[in-house]
Amino acid sequence: MIQIALLLFGAEFVRSKFWFLGLVGIVWGALGLGVMIDGLDGELYFPLRAFGLMLLLESIVTLSVAASGVGTQRAVLYFKGGICFFVAVLILADKVYSNLLLAIIFGFTYFVIGLLTITSAWVVRFPHWRTSLISGGAQVVFAGLLVSPYPIANSATVSFFLGALMIVSGLNTVRIARRVRRLRHGTSTFELLAPRDLLSDFKKLPPQAPLEQQEPEPACNDPLVVHIWTPEGTASATTIPRPIINRYIAAVDAQGVISTGHAALELSPSVYLSLYPVADIDRSPSEFFRILKATRNNDVPGTFQPDYATEVANWCDSDRKIVFHRYSRKALIEFSTHYRQQATYNLTYRNCSSSVAFALEASMDGVLSERSRRWRSVLQTLLMPELWIAAQVRKRAMTMAWTPGLVMDYARALRVIVHPVPQPWFQRIPWRGTAAKAAPDKKQD
């Protein structure tokens, strides 16, 4: 979440605040260690009831704002608000059974997340998959510790869980601060998010003029459009109804043919990024799981479509269009120029969706630089529910694979952050009047 916020605030803000970021990470991790130790020493000093009241308030606000969400954002906010509300009630109840239920909820959640991380790392084999395998194993072990008798017997489930969470987030913040410190002048904050192998591929290309962006670019009249062809919308026959799988992975029709959908990014007439394999990939069930691996032996020659009109003429119109009017044209053109020099296609690692996601992130460099000059605006941005949603979507995509459904949700969340609605989230609660919609869940967002 912090990485996305730093990308939006821009390089000037990031380089001037790296020391503050590192200090916050150290203090936050130290507090987390104290909270964890407090939960294990037999006497609980952590203000558990105050924390429960704060969580209850946060859940009520999230549930109230969820009605103004768009598409999947609404479901995610309802789910997050509902879980937080249930957990807050259990904390405030302060009974033996509530502590047991909390241990089961936290443990089961981390067990499922760890199992999914291990499975996706083993199946997809993306770069640094062994690190994700270790991370998933650590989450499974942590889940076992949460439901072990010692924390439950000492009523320390919440402090043990919260302390570990604070330690991990503190260490991650310090790691980000170290990367920020190494950013050279004239480089983009996109380097904080881009995969290391993508950056190394860029460094092998012929050098180009550095990106100079000290002042925010003026708003462009030409819109930046993210085109999404959903798996169900591109299937040649009626698909089997599997809502989550059809949206985020692939749709299977009555003949057993798998459709994964497509994504493209357009900034007419300068940029059109739409990556395809030169030869159609065999997507039969017998071959599909083999080509899921993001290994070099599954790399195939790819090709970039010339423009949207040509793609529509050869195929069909996109199902969804997410439009941005604020972006960094210079950063996007530079990314596209570098990226198009290598036309390799990989179904799970370098596909149409990952190309669009990385290009969109490159175009978001410093678009909120004017907000970074006021700490109140910085805090308001960090508290936006859509920033949390964008971070969760990106985390799932980077540990599995970018798909058109994930790109669509990611682009929608970023659009709400970059193009704020007339009313902030805390004014969109039902009892303050009609909720202001960020954008209708229709063909064009």
Q: What is the pLDDT of residue 103?
A: 83
Pairing verdict, β 300-304 and 251-252: unpaired
Dihedral of the alpha carbons of 225, 231, 235, 241, in degrees to the nearest 10:
-140
Q: Which two tokens stand for residue 328?
A: 């960094």
* 156 and 199 both lie in a single domain: no
Instruction: Specify if 272 maps to a domain.
Output: yes
Confidence of residue 239 (pLDDT cuts 50, 70, 90): low
d(CA 89, CA 57): 11
* 165 and 301 both lie in a single domain: no
Structural domains of the chain, count: 2
Half-sphere exposure of residue 341: CA atoms within 13 angstroms, side-chain side: 14
Pairing verdict, β 344-345 and 320-324: unpaired
Query: Residue 153: pLDDT above 60?
Result: no
* 230 and 135 both lie in a single domain: no
Q: What is the pLDDT of residue 357?
A: 92
* 177 and 324 both lie in a single domain: no
d(CA 84, CA 66): 13
Amino acid at 179: R
Q: Which two tokens stand for residue 104?
A: 């089961």
Q: What is the pLDDT of residue 216?
A: 47
* 28 and 114 both lie in a single domain: yes
Q: What is the pLDDT of residue 322?
A: 92
Instruction: Specify if 381 maps to a domain.
Output: no
d(CA 237, CA 241): 12
Confidence of residue 69 (pLDDT cuts 50, 70, 90): low
Query: Residue 272: pLDDT above 90?
Result: yes
Amino acid at 161: F
Confidence of residue 395 (pLDDT cuts 50, 70, 90): confident
Instruction: Specify if 394 maps to a domain.
Output: no
Confidence of residue 266 (pLDDT cuts 50, 70, 90): very high
Pairing verdict, β 275-277 and 271-273: unpaired
d(CA 52, CA 55): 5
Q: What is the pLDDT of residue 269?
A: 84
Q: Which residue has the higher pLDDT, 174 or 203?
A: 174
Query: Residue 221: pLDDT above 90?
Result: no
Instruction: State the DSSP code for 209.
Output: -
The answer to whether the CB of 365 falls within 8 A of the CB of 10 is yes
* 144 and 242 both lie in a single domain: no
Q: What is the pLDDT of residue 273?
A: 92
pTM metric for this prediction: 0.78
Instruction: Specify if 188 maps to a domain.
Output: no
Instruction: Specify if 210 maps to a domain.
Output: no
344: exposed, middle or buried (Cβ count in 10 Å: 0-12, 13-18, 19+): middle
* 109 and 224 both lie in a single domain: no
Which uninterrupted H or E stretch holds 196? helix 196-204
75: exposed, middle or buried (Cβ count in 10 Å: 0-12, 13-18, 19+): exposed
Query: Residue 215: pLDDT above 50?
Result: no
Mean pLDDT of 63-82: 73
User: How many CB atoms within 10 Å of residue 325?
Assistant: 13
The answer to whether the CB of 85 falls within 8 A of the CB of 60 is yes
Percent of the residues in the chain that have a pLDDT greater than 70, as a whole number:
73
* 97 and 198 both lie in a single domain: no
Query: Residue 38: pLDDT above 80?
Result: no
Q: What is the pLDDT of residue 198?
A: 66
d(CA 146, CA 100): 10
| Residue pLDDT, tens place only, 291-326 | 666 667 777 888 999 999 999 888 888 888 999 999
Q: What is the pLDDT of residue 264?
A: 93
Instruction: State the DSSP code for 443.
Output: S
User: How many CB atoms within 10 Å of residue 324?
Assistant: 22
d(CA 409, CA 262): 14
Q: What is the pLDDT of residue 256?
A: 66
Q: Which residue has the higher pLDDT, 221 or 6?
A: 6
Mapped onto helix, strand or coil, the DSSP state of residue 404 is helix
The answer to whether the CB of 381 falls within 8 A of the CB of 413 is no
Query: Residue 410: pLDDT above 80?
Result: yes
| Residue pLDDT, tens place only, 325-366 | 999 888 899 888 888 888 888 877 888 899 999 999 989 988
* 158 and 198 both lie in a single domain: no
Instruction: Specify if 82 maps to a domain.
Output: yes
Query: Residue 28: pLDDT above 70?
Result: yes
Q: What is the pLDDT of residue 437?
A: 43
171-180, 297-306, 371-380, 416-425 — which is least confidently predicted? 416-425
* 173 and 233 both lie in a single domain: no
Q: Which residues of 189-206 are buried (b: 16+ CB within 10 A; e: fewer)?
A: bbbbbbbeebeebbeeee
String of DSSP letters for 109-126: HHHHHHHHHHHHHHHH--
Q: What is the pLDDT of residue 97?
A: 77
* 418 and 277 both lie in a single domain: yes
111-120, 281-290, 367-376 — which is least confidently predicted? 281-290
Alpha helices in 41-156 (DSSP H): 48-66, 72-93, 96-124, 129-146, 149-153
Instruction: State the DSSP code for 160.
Output: H
Instruction: Specify if 336 maps to a domain.
Output: yes
String of DSSP letters for 2-70: HHHHHHHH-HHHHHHSHHHHHHHHHHHHHHHHHHHHHHHSS---S-HHHHHHHHHHHHHHHHHHHTT--
Which residues, at least 6 apart from 315, have a Cβ–Cβ distance to it below 8 Å? 229, 234
Mean pLDDT of 269-283: 81
Instruction: Specify if 356 maps to a domain.
Output: yes
Greatest mean pLDDT among 156-160, 252-256, 330-334 lies in 330-334
Q: What beta strand segments (E) does 219-289 contain?
A: 224-229, 251-252, 258-259, 262-267, 271-273, 275-277
Domain span at residue 46 reads 2-181
58-72, 80-94, 269-283, 333-347 — which is least confidently predicted? 58-72
The mean pLDDT of the chain is 77
Percent of the residues in the chain that have a pLDDT greater than 90, as a whole number:
9
CA 377 to chain centre: 22
The answer to whether the CB of 370 falls within 8 A of the CB of 327 is no
155-159, 172-176, 312-316 — which is least confidently predicted? 155-159
Q: Which residue has the higher pLDDT, 74 or 6?
A: 6
The answer to whether the CB of 350 falls within 8 A of the CB of 342 is no
Confidence of residue 444 (pLDDT cuts 50, 70, 90): low
Q: What is the pLDDT of residue 386?
A: 83
d(CA 234, CA 228): 10
Amino acid at 296: R
* 232 and 102 both lie in a single domain: no
